[in-house]
Structures are given as structure tokens and as C-alpha cells.
């Protein structure tokens, strides 16, 4: 029987965010926005969903006088991502 895919990661934009963070560990909001080509509003909503699930951590601060938001993947997020990828591999074996 096939495992149910994590619905939080099954969203295209959330999967893209997690894919970037798996390889980068930590990055700025602006980089995620550029790479995903998402609007700031949509990206912000999806980041909040991932943060609420404990998959990423969001840090807000300033670089000089400019506000800066950075995101990093958590241990729970890395495990969820790896499980999602493994589950997809099982689907492909059929």
C-alpha cells in the first residue's frame, strides 16, 4: 500500500522552498522570492505554513537599516523532506 504524501510538502511552492533550504541550510527571503518567482505575499504565506509546522525557522532582523528575513530548515523539516522524497521514490517503483 502506498504511503500518503505529506500534504504540506505536496504544494509546488512549499516543495520549492524546502528543496532550496535543504541544500542551502539558510537563505534570505529575497533569494527564495527570486528563485521561486513567487509574489512576496504568496511566499510569505507559504513560509508561515512551513514555520507553523516546525519545518523551517524564520529570523527577522536588520542589515544596517534595511529589514531582512532569513529562513533555515529545521531537523524536523529535513526529516519530513527526506521522507517525502523516499515516499515519491516508492510511487515511482510501481
Confidence of residue 63 (pLDDT cuts 50, 70, 90): confident
Average pLDDT over residues 43-69: 95
Structural contact between residues 71 and 56, judged by C-beta atoms closer than 8 angstroms: yes
C-alpha cell at 81: 523532506
pLDDT tens for 76-88 read 999 999 999 999 9
Residue 83 has a pLDDT of 95
Residue 92 has a pLDDT of 87
* Nearest alpha-carbon partner for 67 in 28, 26, 18: 28
Q: In 10 A of CB 83, how many CB atoms?
A: 14
CATH of domain 12-92: 1.10.10.10
Domain ranges of the chain: 12-92
Average pLDDT over residues 20-44: 96
Amino acid at each position: 500500500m502506498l504511503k500518503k504524501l505529506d500534504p504540506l510538502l505536496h504544494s509546488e511552492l512549499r516543495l520549492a522552498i524546502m528543496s532550496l533550504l535543504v541544500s542551502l541550510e539558510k537563505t534570505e527571503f529575497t533569494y527564495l522570492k527570486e528563485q521561486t518567482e513567487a509574489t512576496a505575499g504568496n511566499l510569505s504565506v507559504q513560509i508561515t505554513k512551513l514555520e507553523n509546522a516546525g519545518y523551517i525557522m524564520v529570523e527577522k532582523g536588520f542589515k544596517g537599516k534595511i529589514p531582512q528575513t532569513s529562513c533555515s530548515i529545521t531537523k524536523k523539516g529535513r526529516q519530513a523532506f527526506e521522507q517525502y522524497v523516499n515516499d515519491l521514490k516508492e510511487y515511482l517503483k510501481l
